[in-house]
DNA sequence: TACCAGGTTCTAA
DNA sequence: TTAGAACATGGT
């Protein structure tokens, strides 16, 4: 008996469209009101909302269990996280009501590192453009589950375009200077190259770094040229499941100044400050748009 | 057109 | 130790 080429799952507190707009990932794309596609972990995935917290994923059950369950952080009980919000934290309560369904992804460390190096002092649309150019130039072409998807009415048919995996360090280092210039990374080009070189030479063994303490991991990440505390905290939060990390960017600083009197005690949420940060960030960026 | 963007590095005090 | 300038490019 052949395995079904899709997986259906009931998932509470999960909103792919909000995740796509949350700023933690740059390769998720909203196709329509109930479909999202993404490229991650070297694969293509489409997610369809079926109603009543039920979702269809364009992959076999085995792939869903092996890869996407962890990537999408489905083991965590987000209702429990929500229950931790203090009664007097009015702003965060509003942020939760607005952003319910956002999960913190467990992304690939190298991809997250390079993406957030690119992110510094740029808008999210601009980051997305730059990341896509890098993938198209240096990334491996991905085999699409086209035939199997088209045979299912659950999913949106794929456009006839190519999808590329995020490149590894070797693939980035193989780019010519002209190619690297053409992705439009500007002065961050040198940061990308030196981070890639550190990983290639094994000075930065990103896989083994997952065993480090928060303090050591932060120290190692910030030792990379072009990686400061903001980018390091984003990598820790979005790729190393360090949910206590609280990246402070211009948006979050604005929130702290406006709603928290200029200082924010992250010890209010010792193990979930990063999740709270993401809710705040999403709320502040999107509340005026919708 | 001018301004700002999920910051970091470098330099001078 | 800290404040401030410089940094490349894209989106609005």
- A89-108 per-position pLDDT tens digit: 999 999 999 999 999 999 99
Distance CA A172, CA A157 (A): 31
Residue A157, pLDDT above cutoff 90: no
A231 touches strand B (CB under 7 A): yes
- High-pLDDT (> 90) share of chain A, %: 89
Compute the Cα dihedral for A198, A200, A203, A206 and give only its sign.
positive
pLDDT value for A143: 85
Residue A163 pLDDT more than 80?
Answer: yes
Q: What interhelical angle do A124-138 and A109-119 show, nearest 10?
A: 130
**pLDDT over 80 (residue A148):** no
Q: How far is residue A128's CA from residue A266's CA, in Å, rounded to a whole number?
A: 29
Distance between the alpha carbon (CA) of A249 and the C1' atom of B10, Å: 21
Q: Collect contacts of A74-80 with beta carbons under 8 A, ≥24 apart.
A: A74/A11, A74/A14, A74/A103, A76/A103, A78/A12, A78/A13, A78/A103, A78/A275, A79/A12, A79/A13
In this structure, are strands A43-51 and A54-57 parallel, antiparallel, or unpaired?
A: antiparallel
Domains and CATH numbers, chain A: 7-286 (1.10.340.30)
Tell me: pLDDT of A38 over 80.
yes
What is the structure's pLDDT at A289? 67
Single out the residue of A100, A50, A102 nearest to residue A72, CA to CA.
Answer: A102
Count of CB atoms within 10 A of residue A42's CB?
15
Which of the 157-216 residues on chain A come under 7 Å of nucleic strand B at their beta carbon?
187
Is residue A101's beta carbon less than 7 angstroms from any atom in nucleic acid strand B? no
A100 Cβ neighbours under 8 A, 6+ residues apart: A13, A15, A82
Mean pLDDT of A197-224: 98
- Per-residue pLDDT band for A190 (boundaries 50, 70, 90) equals very high
Q: Would you give the end-to-end CA distance of chain A in angstroms?
A: 47
Q: CA A13 to CA A197: how far, in whole Å? A: 39
Protein-covered nucleotides of chain B (CB closer than 7 Å) are 4-9
CA of A153 to C1' of B8 (A): 48
Confidence of residue A152 (pLDDT cuts 50, 70, 90): confident
**Lowest mean pLDDT segment, chosen from A11-20, A23-32, A79-88, A280-289:** A280-289
Instruction: For residue A120, say whether its CB is under 7 Å from any atom of strand B.
Output: yes
Residue with the larger pLDDT of the pair A1 and A93: A93
User: A33 pLDDT exceeds 80?
Assistant: yes
Q: Which nucleotide is nearest to A126 (CA to C1')?
A: C10
CA distances A171 to A35, A40, A45, A188, Å, are 31, 16, 23, 17
The answer to whether A57 touches A64, Cβ cutoff 8 Å, is yes
Instruction: Express each pLDDT in A47-62 by its tens digit.
Output: 999 999 999 999 999 9
Question: CA A140 to CA A256: how far, in whole Å?
Answer: 41
A137 touches strand B (CB under 7 A): no
């Amino acid at each position: 008996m052949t395995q079904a080429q899709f997986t259906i799952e009931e998932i509470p507190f999960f909103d792919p469209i909000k995740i796509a707009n949350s700023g933690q990932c740059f390769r998720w794309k909203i196709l329509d009101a109930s479909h999202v596609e993404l490229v991650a972990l070297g694969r293509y995935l489409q997610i369809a909302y079926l109603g009543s917290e039920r979702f269809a994923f364009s992959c076999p059950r085995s792939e869903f269990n092996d890869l996407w369950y962890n990537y999408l952080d489905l083991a965590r009980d987000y209702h429990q996280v929500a229950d931790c919000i203090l009664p007097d934290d009015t702003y965060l309560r509003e942020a939760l009501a607005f952003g319910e369904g956002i999960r913190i992804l467990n992304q690939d460390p190298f991809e997250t590192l390079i993406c957030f190096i690119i992110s510094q002092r740029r808008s999210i649309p601009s980051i997305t453009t730059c990341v896509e150019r890098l993938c198209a130039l240096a990334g491996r072409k991905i085999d699409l589950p086209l035939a199997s998807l088209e045979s299912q009415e659950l999913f949106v048919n794929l456009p006839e375009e190519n999808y590329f995996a995020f490149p590894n360090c070797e693939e980035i280092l193989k780019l010519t200077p002209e190619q690297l210039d053409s992705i439009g990374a500007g002065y961050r080009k040198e940061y990308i190259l030196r981070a890639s070189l550190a990983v290639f030479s094994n000075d930065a063994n990103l896989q083994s770094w997952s065993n480090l303490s928060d303090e050591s991991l932060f120290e190692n990440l910030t030792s990379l040229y072009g990686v400061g505390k903001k980018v390091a905290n984003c990598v820790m939060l979005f790729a190393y499941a360090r949910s206590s990390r609280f990246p402070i960017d211009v948006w979050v600083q604005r929130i702290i100044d406006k709603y928290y009197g200029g200082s924010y005690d992250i010890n209010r949420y010792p193990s979930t400050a990063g999740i709270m940060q993401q809710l705040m960030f999403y709320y502040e960026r999107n509340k005026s748009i919708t």
